[in-house]
């Protein structure tokens, strides 16, 4: 109502939004492309296909996929338990769900080092299992899982709540076993929000820096992810590599965002 009455106010607002977005998103991206162009595309592609960059991207992909697999299984299971079961401390778990959003990833990484590192409470357990968790890939997987954990659960909770149990009960009276019920009734009903939650987890894992750096220590060619590589390349003035890796990360994010939009449409 206010917008209609004041002439010229609406175009002004839209202009502000555009300028803001351009300044915040467009300009940095443009500068990056500009700088990369000046470095020369040949040099950049050479850098991109160097072993350490390939390894860094390989590791990032591995972390992203572990986030997808683990959150897919445990996120779905947790959401089902939270919606379907009543137990003491349920509200506490609900409160803790968003913890990874609130806690700094660096703190998370540090906490994991304290937990699994020398003298940590779970150090013995990790040792007994023969897994090295600190300054290693398994530790980075755990850190990634921590920061990506809320996405699938948060996406599924309202959907499961709305879905209710009647379709599943109807399937049961028709003779479906619990496994058949899950795969032929529950899963088809939650597949789009699940896929959306998994894309968010993937995106978060792709861009994660702090937690994986602290836990993995960013050892080049070993525990160095794509984002950590960009950081190191900039510090060591390897600009071609930094720009190349940055642009590739942006490209991956864009592909992910576009597919997420498609998922979102299907979801609704």
Please, what is the minimum distance in Å from the beta carbon of residue 191 to other proteins? Answer: 9
Q: How far apart are CA 99 and CA 207, in angstroms?
A: 18
Query: Rule CB under 8 A: is residue 169 a binding residue for other proteins?
Result: yes
Which region among 136-144, 145-153, 154-162, 166-174 touches other proteins (by CB under 8 A)?
A: 166-174
Closer to other proteins by Cβ: residue 123 or 163: 163
Answer for which of 74, 80, 138, 167 binds other proteins (CB under 8 A) is 167
Please, what is the minimum distance in Å from the beta carbon of residue 188 to other proteins? Answer: 4
Closer to other proteins by Cβ: residue 177 or 259: 177
Query: Rule CB under 8 A: is residue 185 a binding residue for other proteins?
Result: yes
The answer to whether residues 95 and 150 touch, using CB atoms and an 8 Å cutoff, is no
Residue 218: name the closest of 118, 140, 133 by CA. 140
- The string of DSSP codes covering 184-229 is IIIHHHHHHHHHHHHHHHHHHHHH--HHHHHHHTT-TTTT--HHHH
Residues with Cβ within 8 Å of 105's Cβ and at least 6 positions away in sequence, in order, are 143, 147, 208, 209, 210, 211, 214
Q: How far apart are CA 217 and CA 168, in angstroms?
A: 47
The DSSP secondary-structure symbol of 6 reads S
Q: How far apart are CA 253 and CA 169, in angstroms?
A: 40
Q: How far apart are CA 132 and CA 139, in angstroms?
A: 8
Q: Which of residues 124-143 bind other proteins (CB under 8 A)?
A: none
Answer for which of 45, 104, 161, 177 binds other proteins (CB under 8 A) is 177
Please, what is the minimum distance in Å from the beta carbon of residue 173 to other proteins? Answer: 4
What phi and psi, each to the nearest 5 degrees, are found at residue 31?
-60, -40
The answer to whether residues 209 and 109 touch, using CB atoms and an 8 Å cutoff, is no
Closer to other proteins by Cβ: residue 46 or 189: 189
Closer to other proteins by Cβ: residue 103 or 176: 176
Closer to other proteins by Cβ: residue 171 or 205: 171
Answer for which of 8, 95, 119, 175 binds other proteins (CB under 8 A) is 175
Query: Rule CB under 8 A: is residue 266 a binding residue for other proteins?
Result: no
The answer to whether residues 229 and 53 touch, using CB atoms and an 8 Å cutoff, is yes
Which region among 39-47, 162-170, 202-210, 211-219 touches other proteins (by CB under 8 A)?
A: 162-170
Answer for which of 174, 257, 262, 266 binds other proteins (CB under 8 A) is 174
Which region among 51-59, 185-193, 222-230, 258-266 touches other proteins (by CB under 8 A)?
A: 185-193
What residues line the site for other proteins (CB under 8 A)?
166-167, 169-177, 180, 184-185, 188-189
């Amino acid at each position: 109502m206010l917008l209609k009455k004041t002439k010229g106010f609406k175009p002004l607002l839209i202009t502000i939004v555009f300028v803001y977005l351009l300044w915040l998103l467009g300009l940095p991206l443009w500068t990056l492309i500009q700088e990369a162009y000046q470095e020369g595309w040949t040099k950049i592609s050479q850098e991109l296909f160097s072993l350490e960059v390939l390894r860094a991207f390989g590791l990032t992909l591995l972390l992203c996929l572990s986030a997808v697999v683990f959150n897919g299984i445990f996120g779905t299971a947790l959401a089902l338990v939270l919606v379907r079961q009543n137990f003491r401390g349920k509200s506490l778990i609900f409160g803790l769900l968003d913890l990874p959003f609130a806690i700094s990833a660096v703190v998370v990484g540090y906490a994991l080092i304290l937990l699994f590192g020398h003298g940590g409470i779970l150090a013995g357990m990790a040792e007994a299992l023969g897994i090295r968790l600190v300054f290693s890939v398994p530790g980075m997987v755990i850190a990634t899982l921590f920061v990506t954990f809320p996405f699938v659960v948060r996406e599924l909770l309202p959907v499961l709540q709305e879905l209710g149990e009647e379709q599943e009960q109807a399937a049961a009276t028709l003779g479906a076993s619990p496994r058949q019920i899950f795969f032929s009734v529950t899963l088809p009903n939650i597949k789009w929000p699940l896929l959306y939650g998994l894309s968010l987890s993937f995106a978060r894992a792709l861009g994660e820096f702090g937690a994986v750096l602290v836990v993995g220590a960013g050892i080049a060619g070993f525990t160095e992810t794509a984002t950590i590589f960009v950081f190191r390349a900039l510090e060591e003035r390897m600009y071609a590599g930094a720009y190349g890796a940055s642009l590739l990360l942006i490209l991956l994010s864009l592909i992910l965002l576009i597919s997420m939009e498609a998922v979102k449409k299907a979801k609704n």
